[in-house]
Amino acid sequence: MLILGAALVAGALWLASGGALQKKYDLYQMIAEESVAGLNLEAPVKYSGVNVGKVSEIELDPANPERVILLFSIERGTPIKEDTLAVLKTQGLTGITYVELSGGARDAPPLLAANGNSYPLIRSKPSLSARLENVMTSVLTKLDSTSTNFNALLSEDNQAAFKSALADLAIVAHTVAARQKAIDQGITDAARTLANSSRASAQLGPAIERIGRGAESIEKMGNSVTQTSASAGKAVGAIGTDVQRFTAETLPELERLLGELSALSNSLRRLSEQTERNPASLLFGRQPVADGPGESSSNTAPARGQP
């Protein structure tokens, strides 16, 4: 009876501890570069929302205190791939933090331990709280910078300049209000001028067309004049050739004729002078001239009547 009772107690304890149904786990490592506040040992590790393991160890990285090394116990057979990512999440309003695994393409190879590492290293990404903290830090930094710039903008000198600008605007507004009638009249005149310009533009169209037609006529006339000038040029060239030929042939004869006319004119001038001095010479001819001193009288005198 004692032996049978001991066997029953041992079997019950074995079944309570899992016995043949006890699950086997593989160890994986993760390095978190953020705070893991709220994450405790035995915290669940989920894969797409399904519990697949638990957190076995939490410790600081001795080489870098800003990093935390986490060790997971994950059920054997869970598809942990090289592209699997781990992220810290908070469950509901209770603030319980757990590890969520995601990713893992169907064709990706399984995650194995790299050389020098005792466990396969699961890559991590910042948690939502870490991303919000970074965003809030950036926003607060920009708000602080904006506040500093705004305070610089509202300095005493800028405030004085702003007041002066407002005073100038008030003066301009009063001036415009005082001359409202003149401004209205100017707007009315401008509208009338635009209307007149519109009518003038409408009337300008036909005039421009007539000018265009006149320009075409002038162009045609110019073309005709050009042709006429070309013909006249040809005619002048032909006349120039004839003049050159006439000059070359006639000019020598004309020069001889002018020489003879000049000799005849000299003879007539001498005859006229002789007639004035001695009109009888026309009937009796020129009288012999008396011998001068030293001249011989034996010189034969010219015959009477010889010029």
Render pLDDT for 101-144 as a digit per residue (tens, 0 to 9): 988 788 889 888 888 788 999 999 888 888 888 888 889 888 88
How do residues 195-223 score in pLDDT, each as one tens digit?
Answer: 887 777 777 677 677 777 767 777 777 67
Residue 162 counted as domain residue: no
Q: How far is CA 65 from the centre of its chain?
A: 53
Mean pLDDT on 22-44 = 88
Nearest to 84 by CA among 68, 98, 104: 104
- Lookup: tokens for 153: 């903008």
Which residues on neighbouring strands pair with residue 99, listed in sequence order?
Answer: 45, 88
Residue 108, domain member (yes or no): yes
Q: Is residue 112 part of a domain?
A: yes
Predicted confidence (pLDDT) at residue 72 exceeds the cutoff of 70: yes
301 pLDDT band, cuts 50/70/90, is very low
DSSP 32: E
Count the Cβ atoms, other than its own, within 10 Å of residue 259.
10
DSSP state string for 160-174? HHHHHHHHHHHHHHH
Residue that wins the pLDDT comparison between 55 and 160: 55
Backbone torsions φ then ψ of 181, nearest 5 degrees: -65, -45
pLDDT at 21 over 60: no
* Model confidence, pTM: 0.43
Report residue 287: phi and psi, to 5°: -75, 150
Q: Residue 304's pLDDT is what?
A: 44
Give domain status of residue 71, yes or no: yes
Q: How confident is the model at residue 93 (pLDDT cuts 50, 70, 90)?
A: low
- 29 domain residue, yes or no: yes
Determine the pLDDT at residue 236: 53
Tokens of 263: 């000799």
- Six token digits for residue 114: 């790299």
| 104 found inside a domain | yes
Dist. CA 302–CA 20, nearest whole Å: 188
Q: What does the block give as tokens for 26?
A: 């593989």
Q: Hey, what are 199's tokens?
A: 């009518």
- Phi, psi angles (nearest 5°) of residue 37: -60, 135
37 CB-near residues (< 8 Å, 6+ apart): 97
Show the domain range for 61. Answer: 22-126
Q: How many separate domains does the chain show?
A: 1
Q: Is residue 287 in a domain?
A: no
Mean pLDDT of 5-9: 84
User: Helix (H) and strand (E) counts for the chain?
Assistant: 5, 7
**β 25-32/85-91 pair status:** unpaired
Helix (H, G, I), strand (E, B) or coil at 57: strand
With respect to residue 103, please indicate whether it lies within any of the assigned structural domains.
yes
